[in-house]
A and B are shown apart, each in its own frame.
Chain A
Amino acid sequence: GNSVTQMEGPVTLSEEAFLTINCTYTATGYPSLFWYVQYPGEGLQLLLKATKADDKGSNKGFEATYRKETTSFHLEKGSVQVSDSAVYFCALSDLNNAGNMLTFGGGTRLMVKP
Protein backbone atom coordinates (compact mmCIF):
# COMPACT_ATOMS: atom_id res chain seq x y z
CA GLY A 1 0.00 0.00 0.00
CA ASN A 2 0.86 3.67 -0.08
CA SER A 3 2.64 5.44 2.75
CA VAL A 4 4.30 8.76 3.51
CA THR A 5 7.05 9.29 6.07
CA GLN A 6 8.03 12.72 7.37
CA MET A 7 10.77 13.74 9.74
CA GLU A 8 9.50 14.05 13.27
CA GLY A 9 9.28 17.46 14.81
CA PRO A 10 9.23 19.86 16.26
CA VAL A 11 11.73 21.69 14.10
CA THR A 12 12.87 24.87 15.82
CA LEU A 13 14.67 27.53 13.80
CA SER A 14 15.66 31.14 14.16
CA GLU A 15 14.20 33.67 11.78
CA GLU A 16 15.97 33.78 8.38
CA ALA A 17 17.36 30.25 8.81
CA PHE A 18 17.21 27.66 6.03
CA LEU A 19 14.45 25.08 6.30
CA THR A 20 14.34 21.48 5.13
CA ILE A 21 11.56 19.08 6.05
CA ASN A 22 12.18 15.59 4.72
CA CYS A 23 9.43 13.53 3.12
CA THR A 24 9.71 10.10 1.52
CA TYR A 25 6.98 7.94 0.11
CA THR A 26 6.06 4.49 -1.14
CA ALA A 27 3.39 4.10 -3.77
CA THR A 28 2.15 1.34 -6.03
CA GLY A 29 1.36 3.60 -9.01
CA TYR A 30 2.25 7.07 -10.25
CA PRO A 31 1.52 9.48 -7.42
CA SER A 32 1.03 13.18 -7.32
CA LEU A 33 2.73 14.78 -4.32
CA PHE A 34 1.53 17.64 -2.14
CA TRP A 35 2.59 19.76 0.79
CA TYR A 36 -0.14 21.17 3.01
CA VAL A 37 0.25 23.65 5.88
CA GLN A 38 -1.94 23.85 8.99
CA TYR A 39 -1.95 26.94 11.20
CA PRO A 40 -3.19 26.57 14.80
CA GLY A 41 -6.90 25.85 15.04
CA GLU A 42 -7.41 25.85 11.29
CA GLY A 43 -7.83 23.41 8.44
CA LEU A 44 -5.18 22.48 5.92
CA GLN A 45 -4.13 24.76 3.10
CA LEU A 46 -2.47 23.53 -0.06
CA LEU A 47 1.08 24.90 -0.14
CA LEU A 48 2.43 23.34 -3.33
CA LYS A 49 2.19 20.27 -5.51
CA ALA A 50 4.04 18.27 -8.16
CA THR A 51 2.38 15.77 -10.45
CA LYS A 52 5.27 14.00 -12.16
CA ALA A 53 8.92 13.14 -11.68
CA ASP A 54 11.36 16.08 -11.67
CA ASP A 55 8.54 18.62 -11.31
CA LYS A 56 9.26 21.40 -8.84
CA GLY A 57 6.37 22.86 -6.89
CA SER A 58 6.84 26.32 -5.40
CA ASN A 59 4.79 28.86 -3.48
CA LYS A 60 5.47 31.67 -0.98
CA GLY A 61 9.22 30.95 -1.04
CA PHE A 62 8.75 27.23 -0.37
CA GLU A 63 9.95 24.64 -2.88
CA ALA A 64 9.87 20.87 -3.27
CA THR A 65 11.12 18.68 -6.12
CA TYR A 66 9.54 15.33 -7.01
CA ARG A 67 12.46 12.87 -6.97
CA LYS A 68 11.35 9.50 -8.27
CA GLU A 69 14.79 7.91 -7.93
CA THR A 70 14.89 8.60 -4.20
CA THR A 71 11.07 8.57 -3.69
CA SER A 72 11.33 11.91 -1.95
CA PHE A 73 9.61 15.30 -1.91
CA HIS A 74 11.55 17.38 0.61
CA LEU A 75 10.22 20.84 1.49
CA GLU A 76 12.71 23.72 1.54
CA LYS A 77 12.70 27.44 2.19
CA GLY A 78 15.71 29.68 2.06
CA SER A 79 14.77 32.09 4.85
CA VAL A 80 11.95 31.31 7.28
CA GLN A 81 9.82 33.86 9.07
CA VAL A 82 7.98 33.72 12.39
CA SER A 83 4.74 33.60 10.39
CA ASP A 84 5.83 30.26 8.88
CA SER A 85 5.32 28.56 12.25
CA ALA A 86 2.77 25.83 11.58
CA VAL A 87 2.42 22.11 11.00
CA TYR A 88 3.42 20.87 7.56
CA PHE A 89 1.96 17.71 6.01
CA CYS A 90 3.37 15.80 3.06
CA ALA A 91 0.77 13.79 1.12
CA LEU A 92 0.41 11.69 -1.99
CA SER A 93 -2.43 10.83 -4.31
CA ASP A 94 -2.04 7.78 -6.50
CA LEU A 95 -3.39 7.53 -10.04
CA ASN A 96 -4.23 3.89 -9.41
CA ASN A 97 -6.57 4.76 -6.57
CA ALA A 98 -10.29 4.24 -7.07
CA GLY A 99 -10.66 7.92 -6.32
CA ASN A 100 -8.68 10.98 -5.36
CA MET A 101 -7.72 9.93 -1.87
CA LEU A 102 -4.77 11.39 -0.09
CA THR A 103 -2.30 9.47 2.05
CA PHE A 104 -0.80 11.82 4.64
CA GLY A 105 2.41 11.81 6.57
CA GLY A 106 2.22 12.41 10.30
CA GLY A 107 3.01 16.11 10.07
CA THR A 108 6.04 18.15 11.14
CA ARG A 109 5.65 21.09 13.48
CA LEU A 110 7.84 24.07 12.63
CA MET A 111 8.54 26.74 15.23
CA VAL A 112 10.39 29.86 14.13
CA LYS A 113 11.81 32.13 16.83
CA PRO A 114 12.45 35.84 16.28
Chain B
Amino acid sequence: DGGITQSPKYLFRKEGQNVTLSCEQNLNHDAMYWYRQDPGQGLRLIYYSQIVNDFQKGDIAEGYSVSREKKESFPLTVTSAQKNPTAFYLCASSMGSGATQPQHFGDGTRLSIL
Protein backbone atom coordinates (compact mmCIF):
# COMPACT_ATOMS: atom_id res chain seq x y z
CA ASP B 1 0.00 0.00 0.00
CA GLY B 2 1.16 3.54 -0.68
CA GLY B 3 1.84 5.74 2.28
CA ILE B 4 4.25 7.53 4.54
CA THR B 5 6.43 5.62 6.99
CA GLN B 6 8.01 7.32 9.96
CA SER B 7 10.54 5.64 12.19
CA PRO B 8 11.14 5.04 14.94
CA LYS B 9 7.78 5.38 16.67
CA TYR B 10 9.48 6.35 19.95
CA LEU B 11 12.90 7.96 20.33
CA PHE B 12 14.91 9.09 23.32
CA ARG B 13 17.63 11.71 23.22
CA LYS B 14 20.41 12.32 25.68
CA GLU B 15 21.70 15.79 26.46
CA GLY B 16 24.02 17.10 23.77
CA GLN B 17 23.06 14.41 21.30
CA ASN B 18 21.78 14.78 17.75
CA VAL B 19 19.04 12.39 16.68
CA THR B 20 17.57 11.74 13.24
CA LEU B 21 13.95 10.94 12.49
CA SER B 22 13.22 9.02 9.33
CA CYS B 23 10.43 9.76 6.86
CA GLU B 24 9.89 7.73 3.70
CA GLN B 25 7.01 7.96 1.22
CA ASN B 26 6.09 5.78 -1.75
CA LEU B 27 3.31 8.02 -3.02
CA ASN B 28 5.56 9.66 -5.64
CA HIS B 29 4.81 13.02 -4.05
CA ASP B 30 7.03 15.99 -4.85
CA ALA B 31 6.53 17.97 -1.65
CA MET B 32 7.35 16.86 1.89
CA TYR B 33 6.95 18.55 5.27
CA TRP B 34 7.94 18.23 8.92
CA TYR B 35 5.68 19.42 11.74
CA ARG B 36 6.02 19.55 15.48
CA GLN B 37 3.02 18.94 17.73
CA ASP B 38 3.09 19.78 21.43
CA PRO B 39 0.49 18.33 23.84
CA GLY B 40 -2.96 19.79 23.34
CA GLN B 41 -1.79 22.06 20.56
CA GLY B 42 -1.91 22.34 16.80
CA LEU B 43 0.89 21.68 14.35
CA ARG B 44 3.79 23.99 13.64
CA LEU B 45 5.86 23.75 10.47
CA ILE B 46 9.57 23.04 10.91
CA TYR B 47 10.83 22.55 7.35
CA TYR B 48 9.40 21.78 3.94
CA SER B 49 10.71 20.67 0.59
CA GLN B 50 8.98 21.13 -2.74
CA ILE B 51 11.57 19.29 -4.81
CA VAL B 52 14.64 17.12 -4.44
CA ASN B 53 17.78 18.95 -3.26
CA ASP B 54 15.77 21.96 -2.13
CA PHE B 55 14.15 22.78 1.19
CA GLN B 56 12.91 25.83 3.09
CA LYS B 57 12.61 26.82 6.73
CA GLY B 58 9.21 26.85 8.31
CA ASP B 59 8.06 28.74 11.38
CA ILE B 60 10.25 26.95 13.95
CA ALA B 61 13.38 25.74 12.11
CA GLU B 62 15.93 26.70 14.78
CA GLY B 63 17.65 23.64 16.23
CA TYR B 64 16.59 21.38 13.36
CA SER B 65 18.12 20.37 10.03
CA VAL B 66 16.89 18.37 7.04
CA SER B 67 18.09 16.94 3.75
CA ARG B 68 16.26 15.90 0.56
CA GLU B 69 18.65 13.80 -1.49
CA LYS B 70 15.93 11.49 -2.77
CA LYS B 71 12.32 12.16 -3.71
CA GLU B 72 11.00 9.54 -1.32
CA SER B 73 13.05 10.49 1.75
CA PHE B 74 13.08 13.58 3.99
CA PRO B 75 14.95 12.91 7.26
CA LEU B 76 14.84 15.40 10.13
CA THR B 77 17.75 15.86 12.52
CA VAL B 78 17.03 17.31 15.94
CA THR B 79 20.30 18.89 17.01
CA SER B 80 21.64 19.60 20.47
CA ALA B 81 20.82 23.26 19.80
CA GLN B 82 17.12 22.44 20.16
CA LYS B 83 16.72 22.91 23.88
CA ASN B 84 13.16 21.68 24.17
CA PRO B 85 12.86 18.80 21.73
CA THR B 86 10.23 16.75 23.57
CA ALA B 87 7.26 16.61 21.19
CA PHE B 88 5.39 14.54 18.64
CA TYR B 89 6.90 14.93 15.16
CA LEU B 90 4.80 14.44 12.04
CA CYS B 91 5.98 14.08 8.47
CA ALA B 92 3.66 14.79 5.56
CA SER B 93 3.74 14.83 1.78
CA SER B 94 1.61 16.21 -1.03
CA MET B 95 1.32 15.72 -4.77
CA GLY B 96 2.41 19.24 -5.61
CA SER B 97 2.46 22.78 -4.40
CA GLY B 98 -1.11 23.66 -5.38
CA ALA B 99 -3.30 24.79 -2.54
CA THR B 100 -6.01 22.26 -3.37
CA GLN B 101 -3.71 19.28 -2.83
CA PRO B 102 -4.20 17.73 0.62
CA GLN B 103 -1.25 16.65 2.68
CA HIS B 104 -0.90 13.02 3.71
CA PHE B 105 0.60 12.28 7.12
CA GLY B 106 2.69 9.54 8.68
CA ASP B 107 1.94 8.09 12.11
CA GLY B 108 4.52 10.25 13.85
CA THR B 109 7.59 9.87 16.06
CA ARG B 110 7.42 10.73 19.74
CA LEU B 111 10.72 12.18 20.95
CA SER B 112 11.58 12.41 24.64
CA ILE B 113 14.60 13.52 26.65
CA LEU B 114 16.44 11.02 28.84
| Chain A interface residues toward B at CB < 8 A | 30-32, 34, 36, 41-46, 49, 51, 89, 93-95, 97-102, 104-107
Contact = CB atoms under 8 A, between A and B. Distances in A.
Contacts of B94: 100
A4 to B, nearest CB: 8
B43 to A, nearest CB: 5
A93 B31 CA distance: 14
A58 B56 CA distance: 33
A43 B7 CA distance: 13
A14 B8 CA distance: 36
Interface residues of B, number: 29
Q: Which 10 pairs of residues, A with B, have the shortest CB-CB distance?
A: A43-B105, A93-B99, A104-B42, A44-B105, A99-B97, A95-B99, A106-B42, A51-B100, A46-B102, A43-B107
B31 A46 contact: no
A89 B42 contact: yes
Contacts of B100: 32, 49, 51, 93
A54 B62 CA distance: 39
Interface in B56-107: 56, 58, 90, 92, 94, 96-107
16 contacts: A30-B99, A31-B99, A41-B108, A42-B108, A43-B6, A43-B92, A44-B92, A49-B100, A49-B102, A51-B99, A93-B99, A98-B56, A99-B48, A100-B31, A102-B45, A106-B42
Contacts of A101: 33, 45, 48, 58
B25 interface: no
Interface string B23-49: 000000001010000001111010010
